[in-house]
Structure 1
Amino acid sequence: MKISKFLAVAVLGLSIVSCGQQVKTVSSLETELDSVSYAMGLNMANQFKNNFSEVKKEVFFQGLTNGLDSTNLLLEDKDVRNTLNAYFQKKQQEKMKEQQAKAAEKAEKEFGEYKKQNEAFLEANKSKDGVKTTESGLQYIVIKEGNGESPKATDGVSVHYKGTNIDGVEFDSSYKRNKPYELKANQFVSGFSEGLQLMKTGAKYKFFIPQELAYKAQARGKDIKPFSALIFEVELLEVKK
């Protein structure tokens, strides 16, 4: 549930509930206004049940009452939105992690064999001549050293690259577009970003990026399957501060 939507529901509640007013129980809806009023109450309840089932009713209604009275406030105004934002961002992150875990489990069942093939490729590749491996697992070959500066994570870079999977199928190439690609060094997949920071301007490297440093269990188009290792030939043309 978006925080703005949650706040709208809360504000609606504040506008409906009046300070110190006894709630009258009705057994039937006699007028159109009765029906609309009751429907609004049910709608609020459904919003909370569907998106905030953990709500503590007693504390919630105390907050409504205190807010209308402007007395005995347990939170200052400046803390209200921060409290709500922090909570719902945390819940959203938890939900995203749960969804990612389910997607990874599904991908493991469908692409488990392909994952093993990629792992076997990298295991064999790391012992080949010229291949270096970083602590994170990134493998790379220096094709040509540069003599300029190395980019920091937040620097802009201009690069030419060609990307393939372990079967040699090309999925992207700035060379074919005849135009260098420009982005901040930390805005690529993490393995690519790490490799860039090892280079100096004018260098050309070849990266072998494990799926953990790339797209993990996610697919990217028809040529990047879940758990794909990515292979890039990269030229660092310019570092932009």
Structure 2
Amino acid sequence: MALIEVDRVKKFYGRVEVFNGISLNVETGEFVALLGPSGCGKSTLLRMIAGLERPDAGEIRFRGEPVRGPRREIALMFQSPTLLPWKSALDNVALPLVARGMGWREAREAAARFLSFVGLSGFEEAYPKQLSGGMQQRVALARALAVEPEVLLLDEPFSALDPLTAESLRSELVKIWHENLSTVHTVVMVTHAVDEAVYMANRIVVLSARPAKVVADLRIDLPYSRNRKSHEFQKYLDQVYSYI
């Protein structure tokens, strides 16, 4: 049994047909990148896996159980940090823990550990407006990791960042997953960047235009950390581009 099963899912927005029976499985330990044209439904698929939206037909299952709403084992990190501007970095990370029943003192102690983990020690009391875009996204990553999910869903988390900051966060995130530095053992990431997908993922799924279907499912058999200048890396880039 796969960890995540997308089973013959259909989804409509009014008369717009996004999916017409798409199926896709994700296994434990995979880092899956979803590629496809804008508007094909990649983010919609991610939100359905997260339990934030429901399919109109078909089913999404986690460990064999239908996903009917958000689950404790799954965390979603958005394109923008979505931080509460009136809360400090520490309290932005602590709040989901409190919502799950943890006391404020314990939650703030845990939040401080995760902020340190993502390189933000010393910025606990800073407010979002006092942080750069990259630092805000690190707070969002700390918040996602703090709830100790098994699965991390990423919706273009680096697209709004400057190239150097984005590259740093890509490398850190791969390290966290690949070296088992957190509870996250499975990642599903939506991206438009082929280079990013080949650099980070060990599997790439390419979707067609609406109604989206899987047009390619590729295993990226390269060691970490990856060398973009290598012949093997370029071969995978060319292979993925051939499907887009």
TM-score tier (shorter):
under 0.3
Name the structure where strand makes up a greater proportion of residues: 2
* Structure number with larger C-alpha Rg: 1
Relative to the length of structure 1, the TM-score reads 0.20
Relative to the length of structure 2, the TM-score reads 0.20
